[in-house]
Amino acid sequence: MTDPRLGVDGVVVAFGGLRAVDEVSFAVQPGETFGIIGPNGAGKTTLLNSVSGLVPLRTGSISLDSTAMHGLRPHQRAALGVGRTFQAAEVFNDFRVRDYMLLGRLFAQQTSVIGAALRLPGVRRAEKSERVAVENLLDRHGLADVAGVVLKELPYGLRKLVDILRALAGRPRVLLLDEPTSGTATSDRLALRDVLLEAGRDGMTTVVVDHDVQFVSELCGRVLVVNFGQQIGTGTPAEVLQRPDVRAAFMGAD
């Protein structure tokens, strides 16, 4: 087996005396779509935050393609190839869709500060190329007509889709998705699922946290179940959802 794209080993995240993540370990292979499920408050988002560098580890380690990321800040991990979406991202709602998508390409650009300030020909060519790439991605998913629309004017489900496309535009080595279906309608979820299935076929490595078990089961070959910060089990969706301890923790069954 090849080395994992993402390795999480014995991770503990604590806030005071509360262990929000308690000795969690898992590995995600290149090109795999991996799910993390569990009840509210189980520590799923905190686990993603530990991978993207938003919260420090008390103990444990996290690696990307066998490169340890200990001590790296979020922007440094993003530069290495850790892409991320958030459950609610309202900061950029005044951006037009195409400009927001260009944010996803920042770490792929080779423009220097001086070159950008002087608007050198190479910079202008690079910017044109980036805009073409963004327009093509929007067109590929049937969204060319919203390229000039301000984000806050879009329906909520469409904003969530644009956010995922923004993250995909940067071609990260691993993409972390935090509750992509939260607050969306059934039709929105189908559109999100199709985009992520296509990304998986293209070889994207993805970790999905979501409360919608069916959505995760349709996307992911393996899932990790967590409860009270601890991992209960890892396996195929069918395997883990049949376990009595998982049913008790996640679905309230005896």
Give the domain CATH number at 211.
Answer: 3.40.50.300
Helix, strand, or coil (residue 89): coil
- State how far Cα 105 lies from the chain centre: 15
Inside any domain, residue 15: yes
The per-residue pLDDT for range 56-71, each reduced to its tens digit, is 999 999 999 999 999 8
Sequence-ordered list of residues with C-beta below 8 angstroms from that of 160, at least 6 positions apart, any chain: 180, 181, 182, 183, 184, 188, 192
Inside any domain, residue 37: yes
Average pLDDT over residues 1-24: 92
Other Cβ atoms within 10 Å of 99 Cβ, number: 16
pLDDT at 18 over 60: yes
- Domain of residue 75, residue span: 6-94+151-251
Inside any domain, residue 174: yes
Structurally, how many domains does the chain consist of? 1
Q: In the 8-state DSSP scheme, what is residue 150? A: B
pLDDT number for residue 106: 63
pLDDT bucket at 14, cuts 50 / 70 / 90: very high
User: Average per-residue pLDDT in the chain?
Assistant: 87
pLDDT number for residue 92: 80
Average pLDDT over residues 74-78: 92
pLDDT at 115 over 70: no
pLDDT number for residue 254: 43
Which residues face 11 on adjacent strands? 24
The two tokens of residue 101 are 């998508």
Inside any domain, residue 135: no
Inside any domain, residue 45: yes
Inside any domain, residue 211: yes
Inside any domain, residue 216: yes
Average pLDDT over residues 34-52: 94
**Cα–Cα distance between 247 and 227 in angstroms, integer?**
11
Torsion angles phi and psi, residue 195, rounded to 5: -65, -40
Other Cβ atoms within 10 Å of 238 Cβ, number: 9
Give the helix/strand (H/E) hosting 166: helix 156-169
- Is residue 170 within 8 A of residue 106, CB to CB? The reply is yes
The per-residue pLDDT for range 216-230, each reduced to its tens digit, is 999 999 999 999 999
Inside any domain, residue 107: no
pLDDT at 210 over 90: yes
